[in-house]
Structure 1
Amino acid sequence: MILSPSLLSSDFGRLADELAALETAGLSWVHWDVMDGTFVPNITYGQPVIAHLRKQSRLFFDVHLMVERPERYLHEFVDAGADMLVVHAEATPHVQRALAEIRRLGVKSGVALNPHTPLSVLDYVLDDADMVLVMTVNPGFGGQSFLPASYRKISELRAMINARGLSTLIQVDGGVDPSNTAQLVQSGADVLVSGSAFFKFPPYAERLKAFEAAANSVL
């Protein structure tokens, strides 16, 4: 299990300090929720913020683009220092092209699905994705409650990936905390994104241990 804390719930006035604290606590990934105010109602940060903080962090930058027509910005986010770019299947009519371009730019590719989006949209693009992000809340704001129907979706996605002999990661984002970590891992999740359930419970090293203990209980 990889834990990727979402900076959406961190202290925006101390982002550099937050990244340093995550490294010190033993985290390896960090999740950037990039929102444009159109695809989702909220607005967060963009390429300049990521580029500035890239110089100050060795963490794996997992960048989730909640923006309309993300293909317009792929090279800018790669230049800013993203290690992985995740685009929404609902945000572009050219998902395969976007995923192929992300890989061409030299970083990992991911595709995200909103809660209502069926797995069938992945039929012809799954081979182009290094990771699939299953949204377990409706995207746009932190602190929402996990949608229980997501467990079945994650299990079905794991079966689809295994049937094709792929090594595609499954990421889960929305309402993730230690109380549902075991069931998420058991359902097939590899990467867990946690915002308020992580950052509101310092010290970070101890919170990481709580997630890891829950994950290890079913491994």
Structure 2
Amino acid sequence: MEKCLAPSILSADFGILKQQLEVIDEAGAQYVHFDVMDGVFVPSISFGLPVLKTIRKYTDRMMDVHLMIVDPERYVKDFAEAGADIITVHAEACKHLDATIELIKASGAMAGVAINPATPLSAISHVLEKVDMVLIMTVNPGFGGQSLIPYTLDKVRELSQLLNQKGLKIDIEVDGGINKDTIDDALDAGANIIVAGSAVFNGDISANVEALMEKMR
């Protein structure tokens, strides 16, 4: 599977977001990770549809929308229409996960499913054939800048083995605490889509992207 970097704009400077999107594009990042938080499923509130509609005009990268919200099926169609290429929902937040995945696909977007650090892979094992990507949270969601929880990489390894056994080619994304010191472990465990927030946007953005991309090569 192709290895891709997904800078999380949760850590960006929204006063100059257009310019920062151009910098990560020019540096070679393939995705833009868009964290939607509702203050209910996770403690924080971030941003939503109006921001997505706006930034969609300024980047042609894969728009990777991560819905950290309760009952995400309410907004799937709206996020797809606003420009999401892939919509990822949390298994823990869906009353009917299978139906929500079907709704995402019907909207024209690719479907992703996410699980929190303490949620076992068994929670999503029956829908793996239906999704395009699995997101293993490597921190407890809700805040940027946290340290990676080591045991979450065991789940990445377990998922990678399970997908091989099933003959499934599905992207494995990791999100949380990924930086130049932890990216190697995440890649070695089997992740191929790497979300990085503060590791990209703190300091020299272009140099940060290039350094992470070099490790991914």
Q: TM-score, normalised by structure 2?
A: 0.96
For 1:208, the equivalent position in structure 2 comes to: 209
Instruction: Using the TM superposition, name which of 44-53 and 70-79 deviates more.
Output: 44-53
Is the 1:8–1:195 contact (alpha carbons within 8 Å) kept by the matching residues of 2? yes
TM-superposed CA distance for 1:123, in Å, is 1.9
Is the 1:87–1:111 contact (alpha carbons within 8 Å) kept by the matching residues of 2? yes
For 1:146, the equivalent position in structure 2 comes to: 148
Task: Measure the CA separation in 1 of the matches of 2:29 and 2:153.
Answer: 25
For 2:172, the equivalent position in structure 1 comes to: 170
Aligned partner of 1:109: which letter? A
Is the 1:131–1:169 contact (alpha carbons within 8 Å) kept by the matching residues of 2? yes
Is the 2:64–2:87 contact (alpha carbons within 8 Å) kept by the matching residues of 1? yes
* Aligned partner (choices 51, 54, 57) of residue 55 of structure 1: 57
For 1:20, the equivalent position in structure 2 comes to: 22
Is the 1:182–1:214 contact (alpha carbons within 8 Å) kept by the matching residues of 2? yes
Task: Measure the CA separation in 2 of the matches of 1:210 and 1:198.
Answer: 9
Which structure 1 segments of 5+ residues have no match? none
Instruction: Using the TM superposition, name which of 132-141 and 175-184 deviates more.
Output: 175-184
Query: Could you give the per-residue CA deviations for residues 125-182 of structure 1, whole angstroms, max 9, x where no partner exists?
Result: 1111100000000000000000011121100000111111111110000000111111
For 1:160, the equivalent position in structure 2 comes to: 162
For 2:190, the equivalent position in structure 1 comes to: 188
Is the 1:179–1:214 contact (alpha carbons within 8 Å) kept by the matching residues of 2? no
For 1:121, the equivalent position in structure 2 comes to: 123
Q: Where does 1:26-175 land on structure 2 (aligned, <5 Å)?
A: 26-175=28-177
The percentage of aligned residue pairs carrying the same residue is 45
For 1:4, the equivalent position in structure 2 comes to: 6
Which structure 2 segments of 5+ residues have no match? none
Task: Measure the CA separation in 2 of the matches of 1:201 and 1:165.
Answer: 41
Aligned partner of 1:47: which letter? L
Instruction: Using the TM superposition, name which of 178-187 and 154-163 deviates more.
Output: 178-187
- Classify the secondary structure of the residue corresponding to 2:45: coil
Task: Measure the CA separation in 2 of the matches of 1:203 and 1:134.
Answer: 25
The structure 1 segments of at least 4 consecutive aligned residues displaced by more than 3 Å after TM superposition are: none
Task: Measure the CA separation in 2 of the matches of 1:80 and 1:187.
Answer: 33
Aligned residues: 215
- Classify the secondary structure of the residue corresponding to 2:65: strand
TM-superposed CA distance for 1:33, in Å, is 0.4
Query: Could you give the per-residue CA deviations for residues 183-206 of structure 1, whole angstroms, max 9, x where no partner exists?
Result: 1111100100000111113141x2
- Classify the secondary structure of the residue corresponding to 1:61: strand
TM-superposed CA distance for 1:208, in Å, is 2.2
Instruction: Using the TM superposition, name which of 72-81 and 22-31 deviates more.
Output: 22-31
- Classify the secondary structure of the residue corresponding to 1:177: coil
